[in-house]
Amino acid sequence: MLPDGRLLVANEQEPLGWYLYTPQAGAASGWTRALITLPPLQPLLAHLGELAPPADRRGNDGLHVDASGDGVTVYATGYGGLYIMKPADGARPWPIQCVLPPPPSVKTLTNVAMGACGGSTTGGGCAKAAARRCVYVTAEDGLYKIPLA
């Protein structure tokens, strides 16, 4: 959730996907839900080869909303890697910018968080974020650090 409470992002296994929740206008409580639309996955998941059938695409687990720097960016673990979503000029639904593949030995990524990182800030290829920040992702065999460009 954003610190000001204007947006909540959640992932669900059934139906599989990420959802945006915004407060309903004029309501004391209640949220409006919108599905984050997935673009054609084949180009984003080329590292996998042939895609599994939709019912077998498990893995939505970790999610982090980063509201620092130049707007909001959502980092989410999912089928085939780390999904990076960023709105274009406040547009809804948010487009998925890219999917960073997991390391070769990893089958499933789990949790994700942001933090400061030391050393080089080059890398990440498709991730555009503030310098000297890293995405930290856990998997079945350890913790991974991805420096953002």
* Cα–Cα dist 137/102, whole Å: 9
Asked if residue 133 lies in contact with residue 117, where contact means CB atoms within 8 angstroms, the answer is yes
97 falls within a domain? yes
47 falls within a domain? yes
Task: Please count the structural domains in the chain.
Answer: 1
30 falls within a domain? no
Per-residue pLDDT tens, the chain, 149 aa: give them: 666 667 777 877 666 677 777 777 766 678 877 777 666 777 888 888 888 877 777 767 788 888 776 677 888 888 888 888 876 655 556 677 888 888 888 878 888 988 887 654 444 545 443 446 788 999 888 888 888 76
28 falls within a domain? no
Instruction: Look up the pTM and report it.
Output: 0.74
49 falls within a domain? yes
Q: Which of 73, 80, 70 is nearest to 114 (CA)?
A: 73
What is the extent of the structural domain holding 118? 40-147
25 falls within a domain? no
46 falls within a domain? yes
- pLDDT computed for residue 127 by the predictor: 46
124 falls within a domain? yes
- pLDDT computed for residue 88 by the predictor: 61
